[in-house]
Amino acid sequence: MQSTIAIIGFGEAGSTFARSAGWGQQACAFDILPTRERLMAELGIRAAASPAAALAGASLVLSLVTADQALRAAQECAAAIPDGLLWCDMNSVAPETKRAAARTIEEAGARFVDVAVLAPVEPAGLAVSLLLSGPAAPDAETALRNAGFLNVRVVGNAVGQASAIKMIRSVMVKGIEALTDEMIAAARAAGVESEVLASLDASDKPQPWATRAAYNIERMATHGKRRAAEMEESVATLQSFGVEPIMTRGTVLRQRRAASGNPAT
């Protein structure tokens, strides 16, 4: 039996999508970890012994490997890719990595689509937000919707545009996580965690990000020198409690550069 959907990489994302969609025998998957074949069987997905076997007869491929394997997956699958197939690279990698993978896939006669997954796939499942870019993005939007995905949007006709949005957005999303970790480590070491969190609740004023970003950048340009000096003291504070100020040192540098007139370099 031929499959119409090939899944390359059956980790959290691949298995979550397969479970949510109920693709069953419509899909075939390959993963470098043989232990994942058991989960494929539980979900009714056919397990392939090789990438080539997974691709046989497919019209849509979801590449869902780890970021460091995204380009390699494209390279290893290129020789077996059917002409015209839609290769949806859903991995969280830089635009240039997507463009390198696109060259490999397109030279093999298939169509490459840059797909950015903008939120955790669990628990969103097929409702997770997907941004698409590349010449084949409109066709991929239709194919992904037909496969059951509910929140799909084309953002450009060039490979790299969707992943640029994802990667730049991650600077803030993952940066906030890292800053939170650094702040909480110091607050706990100082024995003031509850007061620090309460003070943040009291001062938090939700705003649209466009408004917030403009305000933050203006404040840095105007007061960056003073704020850099303050953050130098924050660096010393964290160090006194045995917390390495990795993120805070970066804040010092950004504030100082903003005050010097080079905020975006």
Please, what is the angle between helix 246-259 and helix 161-190, to 10°? 120
Q: 188 and 137 in one domain?
A: no
> Cβ–Cβ contacts within 10 Å for residue 239, how many?
13
pLDDT bracket for residue 1 (50, 70, 90): very low
Residue 222's identity, in one-letter code, is: T
State the CATH number of the domain containing residue 240.
Answer: 1.10.1040
Give the number of domains in the chain.
Answer: 2
Contacts for 22-30 with beta carbons within 8 Å, 24 or more apart? 23/147, 23/148, 25/1, 27/3, 28/3, 28/53, 28/54, 28/56, 28/58, 29/54, 30/6, 30/54
159-215 residue pLDDT tens? 999 999 998 888 888 888 888 888 998 999 999 999 999 998 898 878 887 887 788
Give the percent of the chain with pLDDT over 90.
65
Instruction: Write out the two tokens for 128.
Output: 């997770």
Q: 62 and 89 in one domain?
A: yes
> Cβ–Cβ contacts within 10 Å for residue 99, how many?
16
Nearest to 136 by CA among 113, 159, 168: 113
Q: 236 and 143 in one domain?
A: no
Domain that holds residue 152: 5-158
pLDDT bracket for residue 264 (50, 70, 90): low
* 154/178 Cα distance (integer angstroms): 30
Looking at residue 211, what is its pLDDT? 87
Q: How close are the terminal C-alpha atoms of the chain, in Å?
A: 54
In a domain, 265, yes or no: no
* 185/193 Cα distance (integer angstroms): 9
Question: What is the pTM assigned to this prediction?
Answer: 0.84
E-state strands within 157-231: none
Q: Residue 54: pLDDT above 80?
A: yes
